[in-house]
Structure 1
């Protein structure tokens, strides 16, 4: 009969379960088309969008619009393009697209909410293990590779 006074020592080298790649828990592939977009593609898309917004604002807006213009153009660009075709100009250059988790088009209401939160910046830098920023989670969308 085992001695009840002896205790089993904890496993000295516990193995954590493997963490699935981003998006797999959402039903997306781990790699390739339809997988969650990496940070490099996202940053490239953001830089391209910001350059386009700045050029448009400087060319067409004056006065107060000149200072806040790039932000306004960035918002409108994301609102219209992501809501309708699922990608901005920067997204197209980077080879990524925004899609809803249920597969339907983003649409105007969710696109507006996402664009507003993205323009505020703070929600975009708060993200989860599936690389979904707060702006993506609130709008129930994910950014994937094309």
Structure 2
């Protein structure tokens, strides 16, 4: 009986191309500093700042006691996220905490100069930004992480949240 259940009770196994000495090594990212993968607390703090800002902007459109306030906050947050990530590579909350969205689907062949910022990192683009934001709305993909610590919405869109400073 132990053999039948041992394969899934032991936890997920890192497949081919996964793992390394540190998080993000297989993506071609540095271990620490600018360009390294951002931790969960930075991602959460950036999201909180964006959400509070969207709430403030929403109050320009609806009153505080409006039954549509929650929907308006979600709509403002959604549009803000897609537009900001498409144009700048980060939302205002991500900028405040020192992280940005970067494409990592280019693989580990990227040079160190690209990662450190000497050469511009490839733009995320509107389709990836839109896909990320749609998946974050459902929240569950943002809560499940892979072996690198990347959330599922980033994995699905070939992006990662990296430190910008």
Q: TM class, shorter-chain normalised? A: 0.7 to 0.9
For the pair 1:106 / 2:120, whether they are aligned, the reply is no
Report what 2:56 is aligned to: 55
Q: 1:19: Cα distance to partner?
A: 5.4
Distance in 2 separating the partners of 1:20 and 1:61 = 50
Report what 2:26 is aligned to: 25
CA RMSD of aligned residues (A): 1.6
Which stretch of structure 1 is more off in the superposition, 86-95 or 18-27?
A: 18-27
* Runs of 5+ unmatched residues, structure 1: 1-17
Report what 2:43 is aligned to: 42
Q: 1:100: Cα distance to partner?
A: 0.6
Tell me if the contact between 2:102 and 2:162 (Cα under 8 Å) persists in the aligned partners: yes
Q: 1:30: Cα distance to partner?
A: 0.5
Report what 2:3 is aligned to: none
Tell me if the contact between 1:57 and 1:65 (Cα under 8 Å) persists in the aligned partners: no
Q: 1:61: Cα distance to partner?
A: 3.1
For the pair 1:128 / 2:146, whether they are aligned, the reply is yes
Report what 1:3 is aligned to: none
Report what 1:71 is aligned to: 74
Report what 2:112 is aligned to: none
Distance in 1 separating the partners of 2:55 and 2:70 = 10
Report what 1:14 is aligned to: none
TM-score (norm 2): 0.73
Write out the 4+ residue segments of structure 1 that deviate beyond 2 Å after TM superposition. 61-65
Q: 1:80: Cα distance to partner?
A: 0.5
Task: Map Cα deviations across residues 11-44 of structure 1 (whole Å, 9 max, x no partner).
Answer: xxxxxxx952211111100011100011221121
TM-score (norm 1): 0.82
Selected match of 2:160 from 138, 142, 146: 142
Distance in 2 separating the partners of 1:21 and 1:51 = 33
Q: 1:127: Cα distance to partner?
A: 1.1
* Runs of 5+ unmatched residues, structure 2: 1-18, 107-120
Across the two proteins, how many residue pairs are aligned to each other? Answer: 129
